[in-house]
Amino acid sequence: MSDMLAVVLIAAAWSGVAGAVCAAVAWRVRSASIRVALGLIAAAAIAGVLSGVVGTSRAMFLSDHDLRVVMVVCAVSGVVSIGCAALMSRVVVRAAQGLRELAGKIGGRTTVAALADGPRELRDVGTELARSHERLHAAQQREQHLERSRRELVAWVSHDLRTPLAGLRAMAEALVDGLAEDPRRYHQRMLAEVDRMTVMVDDLFELSRIHAGTLQLSLQPVGVRDLVSESIAGATEIARSRNVTVDGCIDAGLEVKADPGALSRVVGNLVMNAIRHTPDDGVVVVSGHHAGAMVELSVTDACGGIDDADVDRVFDVAWRGDQARTPEPYAGAGLGLAIVKGLVEAHRGTVAVANHLGGCRFVVRLPAQP
């Protein structure tokens, strides 16, 4: 066997034994901290090299003095190398500690920032954790907002249902006791109250379907001009009674991909609101045109503008501003715009409101029919 082959075999054997011992120790303490794991990896590499050197030196029949020198050199290098490895492993250990702290903050109230330094994979995990925190935070806020509006809805709707019920009861009692001077008028008012309550219950049902996600839309090409004409026609009675003019200016051939029933409810609610909030003899304008891949439908009224503080609240469930709660004939329970928003978003569209020249403008954007 040539000398070189012998050297190779001896070095491989010593290094192999050292590596195997380190691997066995690493396996035994595999649940220990990342610091221990990194230390063992460094130790395996260093011990492998050093034991190879020591083993071959012994086999080379060096003088005792030379062998001692080699041993001292190996011992010193080993200690220095282990020290350097421990220093370098601090980056990974610090990043792992950073990740643990970051994970502990998820879902809490403090802000969570991704890791500033450390190995790329760990920084990526940190970035993902920070994103999850943001998503969770947004979901919590949505949930709280929904919960608050649900509570308000129950309180307000029970008030809104109790008032007409009390009125109905009083009128029915008057009729039963023969105290009603004009029974026909009483019957008419009772009918109007029942109609109002029916609309409110319908709205509640629609809203609960939207919130429960059980809304079934049958999307199809819908001609905007016809749909708006029908909605305006449905509101002519109230518009005429107040002498409000409703103008439509819709681009010819404008089509959206929508559920016709849902869309006409959206336009109907917006037009009805606009007429109700426009003073007598005012003008409401409904317009529609293409805006890129979307269709923009807007309803502009002359309500005098919505307070800046209220602009964000008009779409909240049951929000009705500071209007008196014993309402005018066409007032609802504050559900109309929440339904509009729910239906528009179910179409992957958006709705927004902004003040515009002594009034306000509701803008609905829906995907155009390609």
Q: 260: part of which helix (H) or strand (E)?
A: helix 260-277
Q: Does 321 engage in binding with ligand ADP (CB under 6 A)?
A: yes
Beta bridge partners of 365: 296, 350
Residue 25 contacts residue 40 (beta carbons within 8 Å):
yes
Identify which range of 23-31, 175-183, 270-278, 341-349 contacts Mg ion by CB under 5 A: 270-278
| Of positions 337, 344, 364, 366, contacts ligand ADP by CB under 6 A | 337
Q: Does 360 engage in binding with ligand ADP (CB under 6 A)?
A: yes
Residues 162-201 touching ligand ADP, rule: CB under 6 A, are none
Residues 236-295 touching ligand ADP, rule: CB under 6 A, are 269, 273-274, 277
User: Cβ of residue 266: shortest distance to ligand ADP, in angstroms?
Assistant: 11
Q: Does 273 engage in binding with Mg ion (CB under 5 A)?
A: yes
Cα–Cα–Cα angle for 354, 356, 361, rounded to 5 degrees: 55
DSSP state of 312: T
Structure-block tokens of residue 79: 């200690």
Residue 203 or 259: the one with the smaller Cβ distance to Mg ion is 203
**Which of ligand ADP, Mg ion, none is residue 331 near (CB under 5 to 8 Å by kind)?**
ligand ADP
On the CB side of 23, CA atoms within 13 Å amount to 7
Residue 115 or 306: the one with the smaller Cβ distance to Mg ion is 306
Beta bridge partners of 368: 256
Structure-block tokens of residue 118: 């450390």
CA distances from 18 to 2, 55, 143 (A): 25, 11, 58
Residue span 46-75 as binding mask against Mg ion, x where in contact by CB under 5 A, dash where not: ------------------------------
Beta bridge partners of 245: 283
Residues 302-341 touching Mg ion, rule: CB under 5 A, are 332, 336
Residue 217: helix, strand or coil by DSSP? coil
Q: Does 298 engage in binding with Mg ion (CB under 5 A)?
A: no
Q: Which residues bind ligand ADP (CB under 6 A)?
A: 269, 273-274, 277, 301, 303, 306, 314, 319-321, 323, 331-338, 360
